[in-house]
């Protein structure tokens, strides 16, 4: 997937196997998985599987999560972007675009998730010509809840997601007029 978005501080690009070390650092950290079912990965092969899965999504769906790096240093800090869910049903929805992000803890609290997500929403409206984007957080994840509200999504309702036995929150935003 040929994607290149720049914000004031970030570069957003396609995820590649060159991001393996950064993805492993991200997803092996238990703090990152506090609201993701507490299942951090333990082997680099798991990070590589995720990267390959995202690249398959690029090919099959034309969209997938993207790497986020600092413009100043080129450091991989996490991922953000849109995902077209065709294979899972969340809150009785299928075939929907979800906005998401995941950053390494040393980059939390600096506004990066908000900055990257705003750029991704602009891509959703202007690049993909979407009418609606959804968001999902774990019910207790106040930091993600706040990011989604800051970028304009509206909290809709809580729902129970049986496969992970988790209470989740559902958000939505429609394309501005």
Domain of residue 52, residue span: 4-135
In a domain, 21, yes or no: yes
In a domain, 162, yes or no: no
- Distant-in-sequence, close-in-space partners of 166: CB < 8 Å, separation ≥ 6: 37, 138, 139, 160
C-alpha to C-alpha distance for 54 and 140, rounded to whole angstroms: 27
- What pTM does this model have? 0.94
Digit-by-digit pLDDT tens for the chain (177 residues) are 788 999 999 999 999 999 999 999 999 999 999 998 888 999 999 999 999 999 999 999 999 999 999 999 999 999 999 999 987 788 888 899 999 999 999 999 999 999 999 999 999 999 999 999 999 999 999 999 999 999 999 999 999 998 888 999 999 999 998
In a domain, 140, yes or no: no
In a domain, 142, yes or no: no
Measured from the Cβ of residue 146, the count of other Cβ atoms closer than 10 Å reads: 13
In a domain, 143, yes or no: no
In a domain, 27, yes or no: yes
What's the total number of domains in the chain? Answer: 1
In a domain, 16, yes or no: yes
> Looking at the DSSP assignment, which residues form a beta bridge with residue 134?
98, 172
Burial string for 104-133 (b: 16+ CB within 10 Å, else e) reads beebeeeebbbbbbbbbbebbeeeeebeeb
Contact 66, 14 (CB under 8 A): yes
Q: What is the CATH number of the domain that holds 28?
A: 3.40.630.30
């Amino acid at each position: 997937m040929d994607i290149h978005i720049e914000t004031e501080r970030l570069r957003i690009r396609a995820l590649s196997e060159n991001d393996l070390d950064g993805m492993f650092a991200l997803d092996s950290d238990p703090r990152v998985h506090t609201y993701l079912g507490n299942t951090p990965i333990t082997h680099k092969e798991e990070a590589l599987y995720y990267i390959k899965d995202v690249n398959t999504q690029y090919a099959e769906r034309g969209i997938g999560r993207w790497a986020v790096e600092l413009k100043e240093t080129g450091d991989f800090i996490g991922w953000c972007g849109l995902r077209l869910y065709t294979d899972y049903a969340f809150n009785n929805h299928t075939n929907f675009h979800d906005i998401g992000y995941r950053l390494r803890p040393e980059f939390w609290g600096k506004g990066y998730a908000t900055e990257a997500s705003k750029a991704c929403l602009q891509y959703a409206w202007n690049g993909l010509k979407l009418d609606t984007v959804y968001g999902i957080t774990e019910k207790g994840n106040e930091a993600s809840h706040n990011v989604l509200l800051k970028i304009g999504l509206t909290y809709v309702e809580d729902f129970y997601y049986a496969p992970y036995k988790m209470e989740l929150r559902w958000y939505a935003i429609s394309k501005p007029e």
